[in-house]
Amino acid sequence: MTITFDAVTLNTTNNVADFTQSHGGAGSGVKGALAFIPWRTASVDEIVGVTYGGATMTEVALSPLINASGEVGGVSGWFLGSSVPQGTQTLAVDLIGSPAGAYQAVVLTLLAGANLEIEDTSTVGPSTSLANPSMSLTTGASVTTFCAGCLFSGQNAPASITPGADYTALGAGHDFGNQSARGIRRTTNASGGSVTLDWVQAADDAAGIGVAIKEASAAAPAMAPDYFSQYGSFY
C-alpha cells in the first residue's frame, strides 16, 4: 500500500501562548501525522514541544528554520510515524512563557499500510529577498515518498504564494498581517531520485522546510539457529 493523503486542518489564529487545534483524521489506517508551525516576529526558537492526540511528535531534521533579519519569522516541522492515534485528535503546541512570536499551525494525516518515517528533509532560505523558493529532497532509488513543506514569507497575503506545478496548497494558508505562510503537498507521490519542492512568489523574505516521507521497512525476521552451529556435527 502506498502513502495516501488523509486530511488537513489549519489553525489561523495568531497565538501568543500555548494552543491546540482539533484535527479530524480517519478512524483507521492513519500511520502518520505531520505538522508545520509557522510564526512571525520571533527570531529565536520558542517552541518547547508538540503532541498529537497526546503522543509526542519529533521535530524533523533542520528544524526550525528562522528568518532572523528583514521580516522576521520562521517555520518548524514535527512528525509522528508510529502508534498514531486514530480519528479526531488534538494537536497541542507548547510554547515558552511570554513568547515574542505569533504562531499558527497546519496539521495533516497520512494513510498507509505500515509505519512511516522521514526519508529526507530540506530547506530553502532564510533570505530577505527570494523569488520562487525551491528545495531538493533526495530519496533512494525506487523509494516512493509523500512530500510536503511549509514556507514563511514576507508576502502580505498567502494568496500571493502559490504551489509549484506538481503541488497542491494545504488550505488557504496563514495570514500574519504583513507576512504569510503557505503549506503545500505533492499532488502525487514521488518515486526515487531528486524531488523538487517549490513555491511561486515575487522576491521577498522566505524561509521554508520540506520533508519526504516513506513507509518504514519491515524488520527482517530473526533466523533460528541451526543445530550444527550450536552443537557441532555428529561425526
pLDDT tens digits along 127-174:
999 999 999 999 998 899 999 999 999 999 999 999 999 999 999 999
pLDDT score recorded for residue 218? 66
SS3 60: coil
Of all residues in the chain, the percent with pLDDT exceeding 90 is 89
204 CB-near residues (< 8 Å, 6+ apart): 71, 129, 130, 131, 153, 154, 155
pLDDT score recorded for residue 192? 87
pLDDT score recorded for residue 220? 45
Query: Residue 64: is the preceding peptide bond cis (ω within 30°)?
Result: yes
The CA distances from residue 9 to 112, 141, 227, in Å, are 19, 32, 56
CA atoms within 13 A on the CB side of 123: 18
Residue 234 pLDDT exceeds 60: no
Say if residues 181 and 174 touch (Cβ distance below 8 Å). yes
pLDDT score recorded for residue 90? 98
Average pLDDT over residues 82-92: 98
pLDDT score recorded for residue 142? 87
Average pLDDT over residues 19-39: 98
Say if residues 174 and 160 touch (Cβ distance below 8 Å). no
What is the Cα–Cα distance from 151 to 146, expressed in whole angstroms? 17
H-only helix segments in the chain:
227-231
- Closest CA relative to residue 48, chosen from 84, 85, 103, 97: 97
pLDDT score recorded for residue 225? 54
